[in-house]
Amino acid sequence: MQVCPTNAISINSELGTKVVDESLCVGCKVCTMACPYGTINYNTRSGKVTKCDLCGGDPKCAEACPTDAITYGVAQ
């Protein structure tokens, strides 16, 4: 978040996730290099970065996973 020159990355206080505001993103990709988890990716179609936003608190990947390898819940 600190590396973003346009402050396009913020924290969703409700979910505790980091989100990208595409209207502020200039596609410089600095965040993709700085992210220690490799979870921010550059989208060549939009020219902006993308990041999982947990589908607004109802992640579809966890819902669709047939083996329950992906789960979502509040940390205890």
Please name the helix (run of DSSP H) or strand (run of DSSP E) that holds residue 62, with its range, or none: helix 60-64
Q: Is residue 19 part of a domain?
A: yes
Q: Which domain holds residue 46?
A: 9-64
Q: Is residue 72 part of a domain?
A: no
Mean pLDDT for 61-75 is 85
DSSP 67: T
Q: Is residue 16 part of a domain?
A: yes
Over pLDDT 90: what percentage of the chain?
61
CATH of the domain at 51: 3.30.70
Q: Is residue 34 part of a domain?
A: yes
Question: pLDDT tens digit string along 25-36?
Answer: 999 999 999 999
pLDDT of residue 54 exceeding 90, the answer is no
Residue type for position 26: V
Over pLDDT 70: what percentage of the chain?
96
Question: Backbone phi, then psi, for 70, in 5-degree steps?
Answer: -110, 120
pLDDT of residue 61 exceeding 60, the answer is yes
Q: Is residue 38 part of a domain?
A: yes
Q: How many domains does the chain have?
A: 1
Q: What predicted TM-score, i.e. pTM, was given to this entire model?
A: 0.75
3-state secondary structure of 73: coil
